[in-house]
Chain A
């Protein structure tokens, strides 16, 4: 079902509360309409206050002195000269904040300032606050730090080959942070029944979020002993947790975190960061407000972006292309710290099964510590890399078997309302519709393989790829029984409805989601609702703006709070009008009798009637996802209330003399469940196309690797907006978007996620389109011009028409994954538990 024009709403409204996921569009007053975002006017007026726009009287400015070496012990820090500089008011080193922190409970491996060891160029060592930012910068230049350099670990092969020196004294062994080995079903049988198998090796280079806003934090420890931290963070709740941990014994309830509107996040502001904690500590030290605003280079050092992942995939299919077995290895270059890496590792193996039915599946994943800026979650968290591998490999399979890649995918679709081999519960599933939309729109059947040479001498081709993404992680970061999202509503005699929620607007429109849902349930103007968000003093916890969780989780919590408010108001109005509450309609800012629509009152009168009867009106709503079907160890990553689906066709035009190519047009279909706001959903899809295009064509976290005076220099090659290439206006193709709505019963009004999913098919679709155009494979992201050119030269020379990582035994690191955890698939009668319990290596002491 594809979104049509907003229909005309029946004047009678409806009375069958609560709203269902499959409510008829014509019954909805606000949902699905292109209403302006609640903050639209301030954003176009320059009035939105980002963290660096804040200032307080007597505010100090802080700078961090960061490591200039990739891996070393700190021998000595001398801050005497810096302290003597006029204007310097405070200096902190690692000794002042000895308690480690980290986003995941299993990897509390970071310090606000490195106490004894630096692990990448950019690791912070000293913090200096001064009356002017320039003074703090100059003071940093006066600090002397003596390092004793250690061997640098530069990537997964090096990390596997060099267990010493260990970057951390925890993890599996050596520099292996995580090893996962999960086997679902009977691989041997699956491959035995395959008519065709192939094994391919892929590499996905790391890339970063590059939010336009550089991270900034303002901290104020006031004279009442209370700390307030305003920050550009996507996760105020987790920042609050980290502050409470490191600033012990400051009580957690004396700490207030306010997440400012984020000037772009994309996952890059989801970790608690050292500069945030150091600013708080500095304010406690100096008794003055302290601000730190990072430079662009420092944003690259914060990173937490896409992991570089080396992958080997062996796949078996029947002669019609049905997947009988998939054996997938991923090797993640994690960088210097844990961050979300444990989850990232699982995500490289989790979602392959929710698009296509995979009968038997073996996933092995390894994450390594290396001396790079730490990797973490970027839009699509851990899933774009394996998605690239799978979708390109399927394209090759279709080519091998002479099948249409689109039809082969349609034949392989995972069924709706089913369990996958790895026990993920699929609800609504609109991928088939998505594929049909982009196939029809692009003229796939007539044009694929036939575009060839154009009048301008260039070659055109079409590529198709699909994907899926979760609508929020089914399990919280800290496993507990508490809700993932909470909303409080306050109804005022003025008619004002105020919604309080811990969720954070990072540009995706989460503040507006609250307004639209509450406005729909209460029948009032969404733009009249006051939204107070992301303030740990005022708002109930929402876990944060990550994993595409906010629309579903905050949305459901808002819905519950609004329905409870509606019940209270309905009772008040029912008593006053002597009408059964069940007959009341909430619409157009009125509450009225569905049988006698003229009998009713304004919303404000209704609230007053209810308050007179009920007392002060406040309601709460909360949301926890349904329990996961997976019970095995490691089954906590992947479950979600629902999965979105996307399909893309990309058209490329290749200059075969140089390998330079352009992307003139993209067709993108996304199954969003239901679009809560048409225009905003379109913006998320187009933004995903853009960011995926950047990853496909140009973005990469490249490193300089040199030797100097016997020491290895290992530093980010291009930490600037000029040299880290991101697409510009000219690069953006024409995009034909199809919003596919397959409402999911777990979503508010049936909604699923939209912010991340449509990014995923872009990278494989570009690679597949290059193949269609010029017959060469680039099995590596980014598909940069020189790689296309190299593959073209190889083809001309009669070699394999491919550019990519070594497909031989040396191509992947030799890692002993140990015995697999064996789980019977649902169709083998499995119950989600493992039937063996392989010995786990004893963990090194923390």
Chain B
């Protein structure tokens, strides 16, 4: 039983342990942003209706606004801050930057965390599989198209192909 007072726990976020005290009714979203200052994870509704707060727990993309922080203790949490390998962006991040798939960039962290999990399991996702994977993430800027293309581009690069954006997706038809 955890009373309303604060608990002290150690989180593993992006492979690093973080000791933090928080109240048991705090969501993982609140603890990441407000206690650990990992503000890369965003929020758009706090009700599970937009996908902006998506993080990975044990590799599975979930909504951090609906996970109690206490329930994430002892599990491996991964946020957008953990995607890059040191100074090097991940292939997915590179593809998003190349195609302008992040316009305002607010939904981007959540989209990246969902898409990253897809690419780990599926090296050659179809357009329909990408749409399904991102069916829980709202974006108001891009119309999703550059996002789909960026996931496809990243997948190709992950397969070792020398892939570049298609001409018509950069210059039109």
Contact = CB atoms under 8 A, between A and B. Distances in A.
Chain A in direct contact with chain B (Cβ < 8 angstroms) = yes
Contacts of A720: 45, 47, 49
Interface stretch (B66-74, B95-103, B118-126, B155-163): B95-103
Contacts of A507: 103-106, 141
Nearest to A728: B135
Contact of B144 (A48, A52, A264, A729): A729
B102 A726 contact: no
B172 interface: yes
Interface in A226-282: 261-266
Nearest to A32: B171
B52 to A, nearest CB: 6
B138 A212 contact: yes
A785 to B, nearest CB: 20
A263 B53 CA distance: 14
Contact of A4 (B39, B105, B142, B171): B171
A407 to B, nearest CB: 22
Contacts of B102: 40, 43-44
A683 interface: yes
Contact of A690 (B33, B104, B134, B142): B142
Interface string B63-82: 00000000000000001110
Interface string A38-49: 011111111111
A214 B138 CA distance: 14
B172 A34 contact: no
Contact of A678 (B101, B135, B144, B170): B170
A42 B169 CA distance: 23
A401 interface: no
Contacts, number: 199
Nearest to B135: A729
B5 interface: no
Contacts of A738: 172-173
Contact of B165 (A34, A37, A726): A34
Interface in B34-62: 34, 37-47, 49-50, 52
B13 interface: no
A170 B108 CA distance: 44
A41 B40 CA distance: 13
A261 B104 contact: yes
B100 A683 contact: yes
A737 B145 CA distance: 11
Contacts of B137: 729
A398 interface: no
Contacts of A48: 105
B80 A45 contact: yes
B140 A726 contact: yes
Contacts of B131: 729-730, 732
B112 to A, nearest CB: 7
A798 B74 CA distance: 68
A212 B97 CA distance: 19
A774 interface: no
A709 B80 CA distance: 51
Contact of A263 (B38, B49, B96, B105): B105
Given A3-B172, A34-B170, A212 B142 contact: no
Contacts of A509: 100, 103
A729 B134 contact: yes
A213 B42 contact: yes
A722 B63 CA distance: 15
Most chain B CB neighbours (cut-off 10 Å) among A45, A212, A685: A212
B146 A212 contact: no
Contacts of B27: none
A508 interface: yes
Interface size class of B (residues with CB under 8 A): 35 or more
Nearest to A689: B143
B167 to A, nearest CB: 7
A211 B89 contact: no
A2 interface: yes
A683 B138 CA distance: 16
Contacts of A685: 172
A813 to B, nearest CB: 33
A296 interface: yes
A210 interface: yes
B31 interface: no
B135 A40 contact: no
Given A40-B97, A296-B44, A721-B44, A508 B103 contact: yes
A50 B140 CA distance: 16
B106 A722 contact: no
Most chain B CB neighbours (cut-off 10 Å) among A4, A261, A721: A721
A680 B146 CA distance: 10
A739 interface: yes
A739 B167 CA distance: 12
B142 A3 contact: no
A70 B52 CA distance: 32
A344 B122 CA distance: 49
A726 to B, nearest CB: 6
A5 B135 contact: no
Interface in A1-56: 2-5, 34, 36-37, 39-50, 52-53, 55
A210 B172 contact: no
B134 to A, nearest CB: 5
Contacts of B98: 34, 36, 679
Contact of B42 (A263, A295, A721): A263
A689 to B, nearest CB: 6
Nearest to A739: B172
Interface in A692-749: 720-722, 726, 728-730, 732, 735-739
Contacts of B144: 690, 729, 732
Most chain A CB neighbours (cut-off 10 Å) among B42, B49, B79, B170: B170
B103 A212 contact: no
A739 B39 contact: no
A205 interface: no
A195 to B, nearest CB: 38
Contacts of A212: 42, 44, 50, 52, 104, 106-107, 138-140
Given A682-B170, A687-B103, A739-B172, 10 more contacts: A43-B105, A47-B81, A50-B42, A53-B39, A506-B104, A507-B104, A509-B103, A683-B99, A685-B172, A691-B140
Interface of A: 2-5, 34, 36-37, 39-50, 52-53, 55, 209-214, 261-266, 295-296, 441, 506-509, 678-680, 682-683, 685-691, 720-722, 726, 728-730, 732, 735-739
Interface of B: 33-34, 37-47, 49-50, 52, 79-81, 83-84, 89, 93-94, 96-109, 112, 130-132, 134-135, 137-146, 148, 165, 167-173
26 contacts: A4-B171, A34-B100, A36-B98, A37-B97, A43-B97, A44-B102, A45-B40, A45-B84, A46-B80, A53-B33, A55-B34, A211-B140, A212-B138, A212-B139, A263-B42, A296-B46, A509-B103, A678-B172, A679-B98, A679-B99, A683-B99, A683-B141, A683-B146, A722-B45, A726-B138, A736-B173
6 smallest beta-carbon distances between A and B, as pairs: A46-B40, A507-B104, A690-B143, A263-B106, A43-B105, A46-B80
